[in-house]
Every structure is written in structure tokens, then in C-alpha cells.
Amino acid sequence: MAGKVFIDTLENYLNIELFGKQHKFKTNLEIKKANEVVGLLTKEVYAVQGQYIDASSEENKIAILIVSALNLAKKNIELMNLNSDLRLIIEKRSKDLIEILDQGLQAEKNIQP
């Protein structure tokens, strides 16, 4: 099994079991978010682990974790870029809409007696 999560809510520690070893981290995440984060990591570790013939060697375990982290970082960057592109599109469309509304208001002022 690649990973499990145990959360100590009293101490705000996150225990993650990867490759049969426990790793303890201090966290400020709520239980649901912590489970989502660990779920993403575990899913990625499983996917990468399938690419290694000897996933039990210590060197390969480290390589699996590094590749998993790099894959997740890449996905994060792609999402940030997508978000940035979307923000720019929304800003431009909002500006265009404001200009159209302003022109309509100006035209209405000019028509009124």
C-alpha cells in the first residue's frame, strides 16, 4: 500500500503512512482538506509506483516520491496558468461590457429632452 492518512485533531498533526513507514507533520488543515491532499498524493504515488520494477528499494521509493511531487507541482502550475488566463479574459470582457453600458447610458442622455 502506498499511503494512508491519520490525523491527530488534538495536536494538529498529520500522520501519513507511505511505503510502510509513518511520517508525522504539523498541519493547520481541517480533516476533510487533509484527506483530500493525502488522497491526491497517494493517487499520484500509486500511478508513479507502477512505472518502477523494484518499487521496494529505498532509492526507488525516493525517486517515486520526487516524481510524484514534480507531477503534482506541474499540475498546480498548469492550474495557476489556467486561472491567470481565465482572470485576464474575465477582466477584458468586464471592461468591454462596462464600455458598452457607458455608451448606452451616454446615448440615452443625448436622446432625452
Q: What is the pLDDT of residues 10-41, one digit of tens each?
A: 667 777 888 878 888 888 877 778 778 888 88
| Enclosing H/E stretch for 13 | strand 13-18
- Lowest model confidence (mean pLDDT) among 8-22, 41-55, 64-78, 79-93: 8-22
pTM of the complete model: 0.66
- Residue-range definition of the domain harbouring residue 79: 3-111
Give the chain's domain count.
1
> In this structure, are residues 13 and 7 in contact, taking their beta carbons and an 8 Å threshold?
yes
Mean pLDDT for the chain? Answer: 83
> 38 CB contacts (<8 Å, ≥6 apart)?
3, 5, 14, 16
Number of Cβ within a 10 Å radius of residue 45: 23
